[in-house]
């Protein structure tokens, strides 16, 4: 299509929401343009894996450009938050609160936001997702009505249910319906997942044998049992869509070497193959243009070439894309940023008569617990997908009136997440240090002693993680910095972030449940809390300190609701204020529940696609 022509749909972003919308629309013969801030995903995956192998700091960011080791958001085209900015410091100044190092800037008194996302590659953040595909439950969607906290969805589970099935088949989810019924999920009578479930790992089987039983705390739960169940996942247990079966590379996050894990580039490739979808890479939409009637008249974007940090050339060009319908699918924070920047430029609110754009920012702060299994029952971790099971039976119940819910993810990568092993403990025994807490005598070992001790420790390591619900709070929000910009001159996010007492109380119960888990499994508990000076993602509650990690689940910045006054979008994700604008993605979710949000976002997205098709 020539420039200046009008597409049926212009989509900003090629992640989970954008790529799948484009696919559904493209299959219906609609002419779609995707504008993507990142570069094309490399065609040769093995060459691309080099990025990951060669990165000494293996975070969710690590395979993806721009280089997450070089912290200079002012001089980066399309920067994003990094784990390095969260954990590092320049002398006494922590990087997370230093605008020269951190993409996010913060208002006074904020806690650091612990999760990151991607903008530098097609497929976006979905490239690094772990693959967990749990459906939300009835309760999750009515947190305010039933428990007096957060916000309600304007729809219920029965509305979403058929779309969940469509999403699960597009992704390729491996699970067994009968097992998922145990955790309370409702399915149509004849529903089957596309592929059979993925087997539990060695240590998860031990956990199941020892931990299944009564609930882990003395609270009232909808399901009165602790049951370890396999986690439905967008990961092949059989060849699917010409992608291979999982080999257990233990690398789902940040990248599956063989694409046994679904990622949005699968849908993007299918979308492009319809012949009806075009994509422009390295094109950053910075603002929306209104026409005289108040409808969206176009989106403006800047192009860039240089992905290095620091980038010398910035903008290489610009463009304006026009469509009958526009969809922002740039990720929760970036969607809000585009809308707020558009308002700044135009002098009037864009899609924001509710004043909710950017508000209700949520994540799953994670409580990690880890330990060593007894010598007679080693875990043999560092194998398999990063997680193949969880405890989902304790997600729902009357306790939600008093404290935030959580789901428990069992992890197969031993102490990699909480401690940084096998690196930290392996080096502890060379340097006589105790950074991992598994070398209390600060011994130095070599030869067979080293092998024996490290084999013993590494094979017994395990970890669990509690994904704690954050209730939607208007005060948690994304605004625009008035001072800080990126290399394209686009204002960077200004974050206000805190954890409510409701969520902190959830952590308190998570700690209690973790200790019970450790007791039942017979583990030596190594869970430790470090001070805020050592780890800025720390808070206090009821006289105890807690460290929190980020699950990578950014939600809530353009919530759906029942009216234009209380929400940004309708349940179809159409803007209340501009009838040719949709705002898609996890930002539309009024509650985050305990479930990894991607599957639900995909389901909502399907309904959006249907709505758009109906209108075109």
- Interface of this chain with another protein, residues 449 to 478, rule: CB under 8 A: 449-452, 454-455, 458-459
Candidates 338, 337, 344; CA nearest to 104 is 337
Q: Which of residues 232-271 bind another protein (CB under 8 A)?
A: 237, 245-251, 253, 255, 257
Among 45, 53, 224, 317, binds another protein (CB under 8 A): 53
Q: Cβ 396 to another protein, closest distance in Å?
A: 25
Look at residue 61 and give its three-state secondary structure. Answer: coil
Assess 35 for contact with another protein (CB under 8 A). no
Among 104, 106, 240, 415, binds another protein (CB under 8 A): 415
Q: Cβ 5 to another protein, closest distance in Å?
A: 34
Separation of alpha carbons 585 and 602, rounded Å: 8
Q: Which of residues 275-314 bind another protein (CB under 8 A)?
A: 307-308
Q: How many helices (H) and strands (E) does the chain have?
A: 14, 21
Alpha helices in 478-527 (DSSP H): 501-521
Q: Cβ 442 to another protein, closest distance in Å?
A: 8
State the CB neighbour count (10 A cutoff) for residue 292.
6
Q: Cβ 426 to another protein, closest distance in Å?
A: 5
Q: Cβ 232 to another protein, closest distance in Å?
A: 17
Q: Cβ 147 to another protein, closest distance in Å?
A: 29
Q: Cβ 386 to another protein, closest distance in Å?
A: 8
Question: Which C-beta is closer to another protein: that of 336 or that of 386?
Answer: 386
Among 259, 433, 481, 500, binds another protein (CB under 8 A): 433
Assess 34 for contact with another protein (CB under 8 A). no
Q: Which helix (H) or strand (E) holds 143?
A: helix 143-147
Among 170, 388, 605, 608, binds another protein (CB under 8 A): 388
Q: Which of residues 116-135 bind another protein (CB under 8 A)?
A: 130
CB 434 within 8 A of CB 444: no
Task: Show the 3-state SS of 159-216.
Answer: HHHHHHHHHHHHHCCECCHHHHHHCCCCCCCCCCCCECCCCCCHHHHHHHHHHCECCC
Among 125, 416, 580, 600, binds another protein (CB under 8 A): 416
Question: Which C-beta is closer to another protein: that of 76 or that of 605?
Answer: 76
Assess 443 for contact with another protein (CB under 8 A). yes
Q: DSSP readout, 432-458?
A: T--TTSS-TT-----HHHHHHHHHHHH
Assess 49 for contact with another protein (CB under 8 A). yes
CB 52 within 8 A of CB 63: yes
Among 280, 344, 383, 520, binds another protein (CB under 8 A): 383
Peptide bond before residue 103 is cis, with ω within 30 degrees of 0: no
Considering only the C-alpha atoms of the chain, give the largest distance between any 2 of them, rounded to a whole number of Å: 77
Question: Which C-beta is closer to another protein: that of 187 or that of 382?
Answer: 382
């Amino acid at each position: 299509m020539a420039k200046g022509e009008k597409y049926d749909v212009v989509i900003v972003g090629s992640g989970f929401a954008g790529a799948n919308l484009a696919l559904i629309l493209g299959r219906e013969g609609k002419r779609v343009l995707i504008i993507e801030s990142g570069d094309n995903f490399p065609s040769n995956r093995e060459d691309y894996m080099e990025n990951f192998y060669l990165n000494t700091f293996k975070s969710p960011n690590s395979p993806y450009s721009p280089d997450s080791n070089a912290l200079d958001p002012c001089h980066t085209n399309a920067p994003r938050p990094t784990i390095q900015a969260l954990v590092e410091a320049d002398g006494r100044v922590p990087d997370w609160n230093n605008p020269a190092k951190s993409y996010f800037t913060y208002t006074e008194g904020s806690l650091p936001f612990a999760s990151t996302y991607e903008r530098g590659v097609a497929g976006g953040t979905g490239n690094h997702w772990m693959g967990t595909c749990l459906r939300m439950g009835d309760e999750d969607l009515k947190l305010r009505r039933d428990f007096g906290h957060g916000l309600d969805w304007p729809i219920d589970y029965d509305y979403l249910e058929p779309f969940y099935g469509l999403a699960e088949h597009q992704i390729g989810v491996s699970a067994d319906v009968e097992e998922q019924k145990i955790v309370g999920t409702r399915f149509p009578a004849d529903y089957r997942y596309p592929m059979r479930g993925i087997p539990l790992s060695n240590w998860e089987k031990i956990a199941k044998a020892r931990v299944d039983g009564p609930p882990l705390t003395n609270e009232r739960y909808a399901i009165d049992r602790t049951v370890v169940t396999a986690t439905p996942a967008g990961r092949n247990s059989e060849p699917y869509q010409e992608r291979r079966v999982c080999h257990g590379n233990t690398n789902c996050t940040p990248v599956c070497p063989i694409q046994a894990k679904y990622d949005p580039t699968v849908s993007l490739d299918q979308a492009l193959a319809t012949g009806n979808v075009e994509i422009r890479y390295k094109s950053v939409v910075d603002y929306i243009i209104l026409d005289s009637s108040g409808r969206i008249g176009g989106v403006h974007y800047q192009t860039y070439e240089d992905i290095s940090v620091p980038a010398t050339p910035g903008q290489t060009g610009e463009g304006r894309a026009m469509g009958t319908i526009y969809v922002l699918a740039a990720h929760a924070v970036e969607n809000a940023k585009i809308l707020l920047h558009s308002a700044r430029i135009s002098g009037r609110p864009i899609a924001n008569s509710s004043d909710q754009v950017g508000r209700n920012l949520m994540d799953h702060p994670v409580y990690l617990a880890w330990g060593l299994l007894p010598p007679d029952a080693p875990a043999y971790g560092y194998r398999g997908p990063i997680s193949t099971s969880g405890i989902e039976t304790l997600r729902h119940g009357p306790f939600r009136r008093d404290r935030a819910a959580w789901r428990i993810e069992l992890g197969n990568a031993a102490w990699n997440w909480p401690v940084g092993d096998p690196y930290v403990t392996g080096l502890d025994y060379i340097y006589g240090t105790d950074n991992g807490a598994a070398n209390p005598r600060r011994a130095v070992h070599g030869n067979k002693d080293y092998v024996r001790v490290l084999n013993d420790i590494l094979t017994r390591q395990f970890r669990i993680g509690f994904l704690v619900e954050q209730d939607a709070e208007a005060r948690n929000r994304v605004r625009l910095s008035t001072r800080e910009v990126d290399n394209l001159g686009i204002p960077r996010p200004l974050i206000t972030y805190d954890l409510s007492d409701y969520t902190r109380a959830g952590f308190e119960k998570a700690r209690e449940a973790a200790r019970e888990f450790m007791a039942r499994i017979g583990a030596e508990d190594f869970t430790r809390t470090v001070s805020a000076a050592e780890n800025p993602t720390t808070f206090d509650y009821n006289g105890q300190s807690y460290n929190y990690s980020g699950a990578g689940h950014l939600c809530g910045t353009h919530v759906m609701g029942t009216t234009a006054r209380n929400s940004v979008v309708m349940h179809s994700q159409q803007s209340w204020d501009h009838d040719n604008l949709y705002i898609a993605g996890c930002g539309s979710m009024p509650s985050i529940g305990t479930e990894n949000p991607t599957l639900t976002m995909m389901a909502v997205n399907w309904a959006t696609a249907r709505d758009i098709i109906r209108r075109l």
